[in-house]
Structure 1
Amino acid sequence: MYKVVWICCEQSGFEGFIRDKYTALPETRERMLATEVTGLWRYSYESLSSIPQKPLYFMERYNDVKRVLLETFFGPPNEGVYSPSVQNTLYQMARATLNRFPDIDSVQLKMPNIHFLPVNISNTGGQIVKFNDDVYLPTDEPHGSIQATLSRFWSKM
């Protein structure tokens, strides 16, 4: 999966992170979660003979993994799921994939933030147009490289 843009407009925050003298961002319980997902996963087959022979097996598995990633990112259609951070959501997505597919050995996800800022149209006399933080402007400002790899621990004992 390569650079697929996903946007979640509700139930996303950025809170509970470690704060120090360099912390510049305030915590928030409401923000737009937008990212560009790149995902790679590795299978644990030890030999060619252990690879499933079913035609289109890996295409089906790709679609199944993508479905698990989507379901974990967005949550149930009628209620969604709260995300305290992109980092937490990335971890939950990789963990759900490993839990669901025993033949997948590791999952690597890259999910950089795509920033959307709330619009406030005002002048010196006050607001011209009143919004309740429901109109956002996309930005191309720098955003961090958020990525992780989760792997199964296989004991050699």
Structure 2
Amino acid sequence: MPWTSTNRIYAKPSNTSGGEGVTAVATANSARAAPTAAADTGGRFELSDHGYGKSCVKLLHVYRDGEYHAIREYDVSTELKLTSESPYVLGDNKDVVATDSQKNTVYLLAKKHGVKTPEEFGAVVVNHFLYTYKQVGEAKCRVVEYPWERLQAGAPHNHAFIFSPAATRWCEVSQVRHDAVVVKSGLSGLRVLKTTQSAFVDFVQDEYTTLADAAERIFSTVVEAEWTYDSMRTADFDNAWLTVKDAILEKFAGPPDTGVYSPSVQHTLYQAEKMVLEKVSEISWIKMTMPNKHYLNIDMSKFPANVTKGDPRHHIYQPIDKPAGLIYAQLRRRPKSHL
């Protein structure tokens, strides 16, 4: 017989009632007030936030359909917020779902349900914790996807893949007990650069200004984006993520032969956000950040002409990572009028 603790209370699903033993425990617990930091300190302090979980549970999901295989690789992080402060105030662990158990849960749920999208798997995880453990008041799950693509060997390969880190996909799924699931999706690390069709002119010129107008400049940035959905039931998460990425690239680069003119980072960012909301009706708001990655002209006039003369098609710039301008904006749908 395996070892068990007589003081441990095994969790029951939150929407079911326990037997007489569970009722007796609940009655005994209700007889004494749940300890809090406020009670422990005579009202001087309060535990304003708390939670714990398992970070970066690495998971590779392989779906084998005959000779054709598909993969998705993730870092999954879980976080639980208990309704009790006893683990902190008293060191009483009877309500604590161990972080190692949370890790095991991720693997077991992936095995049972598979992983269709990061968002849907995150919802499965948070629903499981709220249903299984009545002492959990809120559950969160963050999923970061590794950018694997199917290898193209004249045709798509059945079971070989290539790591293609153009951008990182992530999501954060959370749910408070008795509330709806909240899903935030995101894109990070999308680094882009174009060598023309970018300017920055007519900005404030005063005694603090040394930057000159630039009618022609290199435009480079690393895009970060995040957005939320009105409803999980109608959202196509894979399509939404690809649409956001494609909108950013389209408004940044434009047609392949002519490009698109950018008068500022702010304008390009706004145009991409507007396209996203126009194309994906389930997205309620999107926020994007575009830091400048500067490539500065090098002044060759200081050098003799005989050492700088050469093919005029050669242009040399100096990459400058820091300091960098930081531009962001959030575009949301306005509430519909009820008039």
TM-score (structure 1 length as normaliser): 0.83
- RMSD between aligned residues: 2.2
Q: Distance in 2 between matches of 1:153 and 1:146?
A: 22
Q: Given the alignment of the two structures, is residue 96 of structure 1 paired with residue 275 of structure 2, yes or no?
A: yes
Q: Measured at CA, do residues 2 and 127 of structure 1 come closer, stay the same or move farther in structure 2, by a change above 3 Å? A: farther
SS at 1:52 equivalent: coil
Describe how 1:10-25 pairs up with structure 2 within 5 A.
Answer: 10-25=196-211
SS of the aligned residue for 2:242 comes to: helix
Residue 124 of structure 1 and its aligned partner are, at CA, apart by 5.3
Give runs of aligned pairs for residues 1-157 of structure 1, distance below 5 A: 1-45=187-231, 51-52=233-234, 57-121=236-300, 123=302, 125-126=304-305, 128-130=307-309, 134-155=315-336, 157=338
Unaligned residue ranges in structure 2 (runs of 5+): 1-186
| 1:78–1:132 Cα change, 3 Å | closer
Judging by fraction of residues, say which structure has more strand.
2
Q: Could you tell me how far 1:18 is from its partner in structure 2?
A: 3.6
Question: How far 1:126 moved relative to its partner?
Answer: 4.3
Which amino acid is the alignment partner of residue 105 of structure 1?
A: S
In the alignment, the residues of structure 1 paired with residue 322 and residue 263 of structure 2 have an alpha-carbon distance, to the nearest angstrom, of 22
The 8 Å contact of residues 116 and 137 in structure 1, kept in 2 or not, is answered as yes
Q: Distance in 2 between matches of 1:136 and 1:80?
A: 21
> Any idea what SS the aligned residue of 1:68 has?
helix
- Tell me how many residue pairs correspond in the alignment: 150
The alignment's TM-score, normalised by the length of structure 2, stands at 0.41
Pick 1 or 2: higher relative contact order, CA cutoff 8 A, min separation 6.
1
Query: Structure 1 19/119 Cα, relative in aligned 2: closer, same or farther at 3 Å?
Result: closer
- The 3-state SS of whatever aligns with 1:30 is coil
* Letter matched to residue 135 of structure 1: I
Q: Return the index of the structure with the highest Cα Rg.
A: 2
**Is the CA contact 1:122–1:128 (under 8 Å) kept in the aligned structure 2?**
no
Q: 1:60 to 1:35 in 2, by over 3 A?
A: same
Whichever residue aligns with residue 17 of structure 1, its letter is F
Amino acid of the residue matched to residue 234 of structure 2?
A: P
